[in-house]
Structure 1
Amino acid sequence: MLTTFGIEEETMLVDRASLAPVDGDAVFHAVRADPLSGPFVSREYLASQVEFSSPVYTSLQDASDGLARFRAAVAGGCSESGVLAWNGGVPFRTVGRRPRVTRSPRYEGISRGFGAVVDDHQISALHVHVGVPNRAEGVRVMNAVRPWLPVLLALGGNSPFWRGSDTGFASWRSILMSRWTTNGCPPSFDGPGDYDARLARLVGVGGTADAATVAWNLRLSETHPTIEFRVFDAQLESWQSVLLAAICRALVVTALDEPRPEIAIHPELLDAAAWHAARDGLSARLVHPVTGSLESAADVVAELLRRITPALQHLGDAASVDDRLQQLLREGTGAMMQRAAHAKAGIEGLRALTSTAAGS
């Protein structure tokens, strides 16, 4: 059976001059009116955001087409409103006050629960859902793929700037998310009963208002029969989003089809590996999930590709993923592309980069 997947992509609307977030109401309504993308578009936590929650896909081409239509609709709405679509994990600049939250009882409750953390919670992410047969298999898959989360984070880092300055990190969004009550790599679980019991105990603690505010980088969906990867920044170009979705699907299929002993990586090393990946991205070394040692990012990514290649071949995705992954390694992640554009032409370079990528 061909494993299904879906993509949630958050886009932030920014001022053309400052690249700081602006109210996205006009763009949201324009995209909602689009007959193809509109049914899959919703508001996100911030009023400056528009979110695309895709239909269920079985092919990478369908996902690519769907994201292209959504981004084209957003670009059209931005053109009419005089703003830009910012496809990154955080905006280049932020507003000098608490960002406006989309009006809803749930979002307003979250704002109260997290206090001043909300001031910096100006983030956009890419979430990938991959179908699993049931929650028991979903937990088994989580345990199998969680050691690879830092590598996925390195592949998807796209937020190097914050408040107009270089943070020294490839994914500053991940650092901001570390302020959440629950965050980062999830623990290993004994089964669905253990997962559900431990999740339930978190609700009501700190800012965790419900299961949806448990902000692990990997979790079971409470509304769909899927495992949800939440580790990625929003991506600069749509092909990057599709590539990351393809890798996630192949990891899940590998875990489902080839049961093997869980990689024994201690939680403190996994957390440190994620922080390390958030800082360095693909520019230096990564913690190898199997050996636990720091090795070149190229070698660790090559090991990831080696492990998922049989699944990619089974899915018919091997050639496409290999081509796009080589492009990513050659051209750089979104964080690398942002830094290069800023080094060349400052804020104008970033403006040109995001304008070019907006409809990609």
Structure 2
Amino acid sequence: MTTFGIEEEYFLVEPRTLRPASLADSVLTDLDPGRGAVTHEFLASQLERATAVFTDLAEAEADLHKFRADLASTAHAHGVLAVGAGTPFDAHPAPTLTDAPRYHRIGSGVRGVVRDHQICATHVHVGVPNREAGVRALNAVRVWLPTLLALTGNSPFWRGRSTGFDSWRAVIMRRWATTGCPPAFADANDYDRRIRRLVGVGGTVDTATVAWYARLSELHPTVEVRVADAQLDLAPTLLLAALTRALVVTALADAERGTRPLDVEPELLDAALWQASRDGLRGELLDPTTRTLEPARAVVATLLRQVDEALHQAGDGPRVTALLERLERAGTGARQQQRAFHHGGLSGLRGLLESSFTRGEISGG
């Protein structure tokens, strides 16, 4: 069974204003990471947890639920809320960086970009046999990144105002020197040569700061998909993990059969990412099989057909169906946040952020 792991980033926020609170040091000291690893992130108001390696979604759900419950309790003891969102509802004029040499070096390189770079994401790692296989998977997965973003947009607010976007985090990311869909690569040598050539250019201090939405891990034999916002609850994270694994498994099976990956022009993928960040599932998405705009749910259905065999092999088909039905009912995290704020103002949004953090059952929401 193909393995996967999940990285979740979280904000700590002040309950009254929902602005970031720079208490990661204190909260981190009291946290039990379980089988994963909890670390600082770029900002002093953020934490990141990398899970252990999983083979099934139920195991991942139980692990994530336990950790989120522990984090919520620990954060509450320190007078703050732990939230899953791509951007905080409001933000200070400039964030406090985590006091580490690497982060200060990055900050000095990107300068004024830091003021708005207050974002959290969800990453999924999928195991691959080697870097050659990883590049084959990247070349196939890249065209579906706009669809994955549309399914996981969860950052509709910035500095206390509605942006009109499902994922304002994706808009903020466009200020980074390297972001969006990676290019297609000839092989692993081509990938390694090109990613290393970026180091030192445009504030890129190392390969870890190459911010493509999909890349190879430098530490593990995995493909890392980084397109999604941090999530309100566990359901979209599990959906993302299942679909990402299925895309990688499908890509490697297609490569064995000699099937070439879909070829979509980079400028079209870039525009499709922007559209997905704005509209989520409400409008149209780029269908990479036709390179035309189609209703978002039709594109999701096309994606499911592409990965049906892989989902069936992993036993994920019924769960993915249920998770998509839940998404249809509840909407993306961005839609839920907007509804909560529209009906209940800051108090309503606060209630949603707090109550959803450990929610994991499909029936929830």
TM bucket, shorter chain = over 0.9
Q: Which of 49, 55, 63 in structure 1 is aligned with 2:46?
A: 49
Which runs of 5 or more residues in structure 2 are unaligned? 360-365
Distance 2:34 2:132 in 1: 35
Q: Which residue of 2 aligns with 1:66?
A: 63
Q: Which of 135, 138, 145 in structure 2 is aligned with 1:139?
A: 135
Distance 2:33 2:231 in 1: 24
Q: Deviations over 1:245-278 (max 9, x none)?
A: 1110011011112332221211110100000100
Q: Which residue of 1 aligns with 2:19?
A: 20
* Residues 125-204 of structure 1: pairs in structure 2 closer than 5 A: 125-204=121-200
Q: Deviations over 1:191-225 (max 9, x none)?
A: 11111111111010011000000000000000010
Q: Which residue of 2 aligns with 1:231?
A: 227
Q: Which residue of 2 aligns with 1:86?
A: 83
C-alpha contact (below 8 Å) 1:13/1:49 kept by paired residues = yes
C-alpha contact (below 8 Å) 1:287/1:293 kept by paired residues = yes
Q: Could you tell me the TM-score, scaled by structure 1's length?
A: 0.97
SS in 2 for 1:216: coil
Q: Deviations over 1:76-133 (max 9, x none)?
A: 112211211121000000013x211111111110011110101111000000000011
Distance 2:223 2:292 in 1: 28
1:310–1:192 distance in 2 versus 1, CA, 3 Å: same
Q: Does 1:30 align with 2:27?
A: no
**Amino acid in structure 2 at the alignment position of 1:277:** A
**Amino acid in structure 1 at the alignment position of 2:295:** S
Percent of matched pairs sharing the same residue: 53
**Amino acid in structure 2 at the alignment position of 1:341:** A
Q: Which residue of 1 aligns with 2:363?
A: none
1:84–1:283 distance in 2 versus 1, CA, 3 Å: same
**1:36 deviation in Å?**
2.4
Distance 1:325 1:341 in 2: 21
**Amino acid in structure 2 at the alignment position of 1:90:** T
**1:17 deviation in Å?**
0.6
**Amino acid in structure 2 at the alignment position of 1:139:** V
SS in 2 for 1:12: strand
Superposition CA RMSD, Å = 1.0
**1:72 deviation in Å?**
0.5
Q: Does 1:262 align with 2:258?
A: no
Distance 1:331 1:308 in 2: 24
Distance 1:258 1:187 in 2: 19
Q: Deviations over 1:134-182 (max 9, x none)?
A: 1001001111111100000101100000001011111000110111110
Which runs of 5 or more residues in structure 1 are unaligned? none
Q: Deviations over 1:214-243 (max 9, x none)?
A: 000000000010000000000010121111
C-alpha contact (below 8 Å) 2:181/2:212 kept by paired residues = yes
**Amino acid in structure 2 at the alignment position of 1:29:** T
* Residues 98-117 of structure 1: pairs in structure 2 closer than 5 A: 98-117=94-113
1:35–1:294 distance in 2 versus 1, CA, 3 Å: closer
C-alpha contact (below 8 Å) 1:26/1:77 kept by paired residues = no
Q: Deviations over 1:327-358 (max 9, x none)?
A: 11221010111111111111111100011012
**1:359 deviation in Å?**
2.1
Q: Which of 205, 209, 218 in structure 1 is aligned with 2:214?
A: 218
**1:69 deviation in Å?**
1.1
SS in 2 for 1:244: helix
**1:26 deviation in Å?**
2.3
C-alpha contact (below 8 Å) 2:251/2:261 kept by paired residues = no
**Amino acid in structure 1 at the alignment position of 2:232:** L
**1:35 deviation in Å?**
6.4
Distance 1:218 1:35 in 2: 26
Count of equivalent residues: 355
C-alpha contact (below 8 Å) 1:218/1:230 kept by paired residues = yes
Q: Which of 242, 247, 271 in structure 1 is aligned with 2:243?
A: 247
Q: Could you tell me the TM-score, scaled by structure 2's length?
A: 0.95
C-alpha contact (below 8 Å) 2:156/2:167 kept by paired residues = yes
Where does structure 1 differ by over 4 angstroms across 4 or more consecutive aligned residues? none
**1:309 deviation in Å?**
1.3
